[in-house]
Amino acid sequence: MLRMLLFFVVLKTLLHTLNKLIFMNLNIHSRPAMKPEISEQILSVPHKLLNWYDQNKRLMPWRPRDGSRPDAYKVWLSEIMLQQTQVATAIPYFEKFLNRWPSIFKLAEANLDDVLIEWAGLGYYARARNLHRCAKIIVNNFNGIFPNQEEKLLELPGVGTYTAAAIMAIAFDTKATPMDGNFERVTARLNAIEKPLPAAKPLLKKYATMITPDYRPGDYAQAVMDLGATICTPKKPRCNKCPVNGSCLSLEKGKTEVIPKKTPKRKKPSRFGIAFLCINTNNEILLQRRPDKGLFAGMMEVPGTPWTENPPSQAQIQNSEPFKTDWQVVPGTIIHVFTHFKLEIKVLRVNLKYCPKADSLAWHPADTFQKAGLPSLMLKIIRHGLK
């Protein structure tokens, strides 16, 4: 009995020393004042998450089924598409792109216009421009091979801290911690961080980096993100199904619903505009190209008034109309919400009796408007106007 007790005491001391060593090691570069406290339970999280990941791996076209390392091209392409975009939305685009441009070399040879057309509907169109620019850089300056250094990756257009870390971890299985919204939420909940986002981002990164394992860091990163997407969801997390519910400080304190906290955002302003849906005698729709900077840069659009703080006056409408003609008001209003404002569009329509030609304007067959490479807002406008 005494021997048993002694054994446990020794074991506990050993474990404690081990934890301390790991802890010191992980904090070697951080300042003492910023050193976050971390519970011993949290240290068991990586192992548990990797086990969970192995048993619940979600099928995605950029994830090899056999557990091998995915191609860096696929990792990069998928990660760019996944920026502020959910997996289900990105999958069909990934398939289209990989089918049409199977390698970074093919993508680098593509026309930017074709890339933009294939990207249409996915949003944040600067991503498509940067994607194409980046492909050219990788081919011309790196012989088509992605560098396996985080600093080099960070210099690439469209690759920020998250994506650089994601490529390092997932493509090269190198220790890195890609902090996305999921990773932040999981980290905040596990450690019961009360500080609100986005101010807490550096702190969360520190906590997350401390327990990132040397072993399978790529799978670990994907495990955390999968956990955030399926179990540790923003609202109503499924804690009863969580593989690390024994290590979660927020759950222990009953605070999973209020962590992470967020500083309130200011209300979105509203803007108003008129769109002109012109249909000619060939059953074609009038389109025009937007400037190559700003919202929907370089994308095709339905002509319209500028989007202003108040509904446009009759004079402003006449100022913007592509032709003097007898416009018919299409009943109803289109509401489209951007990140930073809400847009209300009314549609004016006319079936022209002739086929006018004009510079910087283009006609597209009305029955195949879905394939014109238009942003979703423009598809909404056309669908609404054709009813």
Contacts of DNA in 101-140 (CB under 7 A): 120-126, 130
384: nearest Cα among 350, 353, 348, 337: 348
Asked if 370 is part of the footprint of DNA (rule: CB under 7 A), the reply reads no
Contact 327, 288 (CB under 8 A): no
The one segment of 33-41, 48-56, 75-83, 205-213 that binds DNA by CB under 7 A: 75-83
Identify the bridge partners of residue 367 per DSSP, sorted by sequence position: none
In the numeric block, which tokens belong to residue 356? Answer: 């006018």
Contact 170, 75 (CB under 8 A): yes
Asked if 295 is part of the footprint of DNA (rule: CB under 7 A), the reply reads yes
Spell out a b/e string for 243-259, using b for 16 or more CB atoms within 10 Å of the CB, else e: bbbebbbbbeeeebeeb
Task: For residue 156, give the amino acid letter.
Answer: L
Per the annotation, the verdict on 151 as an active-site residue is no
- Residue 226 or 284: the one with the smaller Cβ distance to DNA is 226
Of the residues 229, 239, 361, 366, which one makes contact with DNA according to CB under 7 A: 229
Asked if 226 is part of the footprint of DNA (rule: CB under 7 A), the reply reads yes
In the numeric block, which tokens belong to residue 87? Answer: 């997996």
In the numeric block, which tokens belong to residue 287? Answer: 């389109």
In the numeric block, which tokens belong to residue 229? Answer: 């997407």
The one segment of 5-13, 49-57, 316-324, 334-342 that binds DNA by CB under 7 A: 334-342
**Contact string (CB under 7 A) for DNA, positions 253-282, x = contact:** ---------x--x-----------------
| Residue 322: DSSP 8-state | S
**Contact string (CB under 7 A) for DNA, positions 186-205, x = contact:** -----------x--------
Identify the bridge partners of residue 336 per DSSP, sorted by sequence position: 343
Is the bond preceding residue 36 a cis peptide, omega within 30 degrees? no
User: How many whole angstroms separate alpha carbon 33 and alpha carbon 295?
Assistant: 43
Shortest reach from residue 25's CB to DNA, in Å: 27
- Residue 187 or 247: the one with the smaller Cβ distance to DNA is 187
Shortest reach from residue 295's CB to DNA, in Å: 4
Asked if 238 is part of the footprint of DNA (rule: CB under 7 A), the reply reads no
What angle, 0 to 180 degrees and rounded to 10, lies between the N-to-C axes of helices 181-191 and 201-211?
Answer: 80
Shortest reach from residue 51's CB to DNA, in Å: 18
Of the residues 13, 30, 51, 84, which one makes contact with DNA according to CB under 7 A: 84
- Residue 182 or 247: the one with the smaller Cβ distance to DNA is 182
Q: Helix, strand, coil proportions of the chain in percent (round to 5)?
A: 45, 10, 40
Task: For residue 174, give the amino acid letter.
Answer: T
User: How many whole angstroms separate alpha carbon 92 and alpha carbon 115?
Assistant: 15
Compute how many residues bind DNA; rule: CB under 7 A: 58
Shortest reach from residue 126's CB to DNA, in Å: 6
- Residue 1 or 88: the one with the smaller Cβ distance to DNA is 88
Asked if 362 is part of the footprint of DNA (rule: CB under 7 A), the reply reads no
Of the residues 46, 158, 304, 373, which one makes contact with DNA according to CB under 7 A: 158
Q: How, if at all, do strands 328-337 and 342-351 pair? A: antiparallel
User: How many whole angstroms separate alpha carbon 338 and alpha carbon 323?
Assistant: 29
Catalytic residues: 79
Residues that bind DNA (CB under 7 A): 58, 60, 78-79, 82-89, 120-126, 130, 156-164, 180-182, 185, 197, 222, 225-226, 228-229, 234-236, 262, 265, 294-297, 335-340, 342, 375-377
